[in-house]
Amino acid sequence: KAGGSLRDSYLDEGFILDKKIGVGQPKRVENAKILVANTGMDTDKIKIYGARVKVDSMDKVSAIEDAEKAKMKAKVEKIANFGINCFVNRQLIYNYPEQIFSEKGIMAIEHADFDGIEHLAAVTGGEIASTFDNPDAVQIGECKLIEEIIIGEDRMLRFSGVKTGSACSVVLRGASTHLLDEAERSLHDALAVLTQTVKHSQTVMGGGCTEVLMAQAIDNKAPSVPGKKALAMEAFARALRQLPNIIADNGGFDSSELVTQLRAAHHRGETTAGLDMRTGCVGDMEALGIREALKSKKQVLFSAAEAAEMILRVDDIIKCAPRQRQGQCRDGAYPSSKTKPLSPELECSSPVLLLRACYLAGLCSNSYDSNRNDAINDGTYSYNSFANSYGSNSRN
């Protein structure tokens, strides 16, 4: 939620649903029995194309409305027969069924997002129902407490003490939505790495320690390899040493100084030395507990090697010819152009280069159009025209 700073983010012990409680509904429910549904809580529409109902009196209109209310009341009664005190629906709940739920003391939550009700059903041990004729065939979710909380300026619902054990929600706060999106992506990446670490428990030293060790091993092996393969191995070792530089740059420290200290530490035999980004110095990764998942490290190296190999396999680059514009001759000049092409010496002279630099800087944006751009590239735009255009813009 926007507002506050990233330091205000926290881990909440419970499942948080970004929805409000309806009007007249209880604000707190203990020992909740939850029915999660995806059903329409409005009058059923006639599904025959072009069907109409004609009446000749208001009494018959009232009778139709009473029949619709009776049908909706019967549907709410079926839902109440499940023995629940909380009803969470994917679709809207209109005023009349909401009123009936309030009279029966059932908390009704409408228009919950689909991902939200799927996660809620999973953590509470329930199922998403769409029909209510057989209560025994539907699993009801349970939790110890449902209460309304306020995060920033928004009201939300928290389901705590869920049936499946422990469920938690990460509440991110930030000054802007852009900052929140960046924090969410970083958190998602961290959770993905943790998930892979749980599945594959093998880890390696972090902080650039592993990359330096691999680079040293490759450098020691390269002299014994004949031919050009040794050059490729040396280039790969140099690429590995760039990863500690990237870590230091991302941390906002002097990468040249830190990487030099790191290489000196490994040269002294400190094989567990790495970059500690909390203090901005070289530290013992084993003592600090800074480790990385082996599976993620392998994937990074494989992806980088495949990308480099793909680039090296490119034999040549085909450059597309410039598109011929309407009214332009085959040689690139325009019929209305009365000036002669510039000589090669004048083409590389300072005024022409200055014109192109001014165009890139946006100084000639008002008078330097696409046609003149083509004329400049083809050497048919005179220096006098540029002087007049540039002079008028500079005076403005």
Asked whether the predicted pLDDT for residue 353 surpasses 80, the reply is: no
CB-based contact 321:332 (threshold 8 Å): no
Pick from 357, 379, 1: nearest CA to 176: 1
Residue 333 lies in a domain: no
Mean pLDDT lowest for which of 100-114, 309-323, 341-355? Answer: 341-355
Residues 143, 211, single domain; the answer is no
Q: Tokens 């209880």 correspond to what residue?
A: 26
DSSP string, 254-313: -HHHHHHHHHHHHHTT-TTEEEETTTTEEEEHHHHT-EEEHHHHHHHHHHHHHHHHHHHT
Burial class (CB in 10 A: 0-12, 13-18, 19+), 230: middle
CB-based contact 290:247 (threshold 8 Å): no
The H helix count followed by the E strand count for the chain is 13, 13
Residues 91, 154, single domain; the answer is yes
Report the alpha-carbon distance of residue 13 to residue 170 in Å, rounded: 9
Position 368 scores a pLDDT of 42
Give me the mean pLDDT over the 29-58 stretch: 77
Give the model confidence (pLDDT) of 62-96 as tens digits. Answer: 887 888 888 888 888 888 888 888 999 888 888 88
Domain-terminating residue out of 126, 155, 172: 172
What's the angle, vertex CA 158, arms to CA 157 and CA 161, rounded to 5? Answer: 150
Give the model confidence (pLDDT) of 121-171 as tens digits. Answer: 888 888 888 888 888 888 888 888 988 888 888 888 888 888 766 778 888
Residues 247, 287, single domain; the answer is yes
> What is the torsional sign of CA 251, 253, 257, 258?
negative
Provide the number of structural domains found in the chain. Answer: 3
> What is the torsional sign of CA 91, 96, 100, 101?
positive
Give the CA count within 13 Å in the CB-facing half-sphere of 154.
Answer: 14
Give the model confidence (pLDDT) of 288-326 as tens digits. Answer: 999 888 888 888 899 998 988 888 887 776 666 666 666
Residue 2 lies in a domain: no
Neighbouring CB atoms inside 10 A of 154's CB total: 12
CB-based contact 84:106 (threshold 8 Å): yes
Average pLDDT for the chain: 79
Residues 144, 222, single domain; the answer is no
Strand partners, 205: 291
Domain-terminating residue out of 151, 172, 193: 172
The whole domain housing 280 covers 203-312
The CATH code of the domain that includes 213 is 1.10.560.10
Residues 39, 142, single domain; the answer is yes
DSSP string, 57-91: SHHHHHHHHHHHHHHHHHHHHHHHTT--SEEEESS
| Structure letter (DSSP) for residue 387 | H
| Structure letter (DSSP) for residue 329 | -
How, if at all, do strands 10-12 and 86-89 pair? Answer: unpaired
Residue 104 lies in a domain: yes
DSSP string, 154-181: EEEEEEEEETTS---EEE--BSSHHHHH
pLDDT-derived band of residue 237, with 50, 70 and 90 as boundaries? very high
Q: Tokens 């390696």 correspond to what residue?
A: 204
Residues 146, 218, single domain; the answer is no
Residue 375 lies in a domain: yes
Residue 318 lies in a domain: no
Residues 253, 140, single domain; the answer is no
Residue 51 lies in a domain: no
Residues 159, 300, single domain; the answer is no
Strand partners, 17: 157
Residues 93, 137, single domain; the answer is yes
3-state secondary structure at position 12:
strand
Residues 27, 144, single domain; the answer is yes
Residue 259 lies in a domain: yes
Residues 120, 161, single domain; the answer is yes
Report the alpha-carbon distance of residue 282 to residue 261 in Å, rounded: 7
Q: Tokens 């029915």 correspond to what residue?
A: 35
Residue 336 lies in a domain: no
Residues 305, 378, single domain; the answer is no
